[in-house]
Amino acid sequence: MRVGAADALLVVDVQGDFLPGGALAVPDGDAVVAPIRALAARFATLVLTQDWHPPGHASFASAHPGRAPFETVRLAYGEQVLWPDHCVQGRAGASLAPGLDLPGAALVLRKGLNPGVDSYSAFVEADGTRTGLAGYLRERGVGRVVLCGLATDYCVAWSALDARAAGFEAVVVADATRAIDRDGSLAAAWARMEAAGIGRSLSADVTGA
């Protein structure tokens, strides 16, 4: 895959709490760091996202007495999976992964700041509020978004789907992502992405390595 000026790399939520030993660890999540660093060197437009929740966020099981992580509840905007407390603002688990040194990133977009609204997608929060990322990318002349990070079946997939809905081409670099994969969620996410016309690639296809 040839990378040009109209391509952006979107690095999704590669944070301490999603790495092995973290509060919401994605299996093998630390394996994405090296390929992402190699990918980043190829892109003029580089955007990072961080989950950035206030304490007591509505997506935390701890905010719902009697509820356990991975149960679902109904919030004002729809069904919400409840998660262990993770990526709390200012805490170590919210920091970007060790080794993810990407000084070329022009934008770090923090999502999930609203205490009552979750945000898997980098483009649209769960209640439909737009983050402004689509406008930022258009102002920079971007037509294709290449995605990597954590987790494939949640924040990466939602971001890719919303990139397509916003009119961008979208490609997910499969070996630079890892999944939670609960109850078939990974296969379901890939099916949704493929149905939306989202491409799947490997980091070697981008870097030539």
Residues catalogued as catalytic: 13, 111, 155
Residue pair 104/40 in contact (Cβ under 8 Å)? The answer is yes
Residue pair 126/78 in contact (Cβ under 8 Å)? The answer is yes
Structure tokens at 193: 């992405």
Burial bucket for residue 154 (CB in 10 Å: 0-12, 13-18, 19+): buried
Alpha-carbon gap, residue 40 to 102, rounded angstroms: 7
Alpha-carbon gap, residue 7 to 169, rounded angstroms: 9
Residue pair 10/147 in contact (Cβ under 8 Å)? The answer is yes
**SS3 call for 16:** helix
Closest to 13 in 3D by CA, of 89, 126, 121: 121
Residue pair 1/37 in contact (Cβ under 8 Å)? The answer is no
Alpha-carbon gap, residue 17 to 200, rounded angstroms: 26
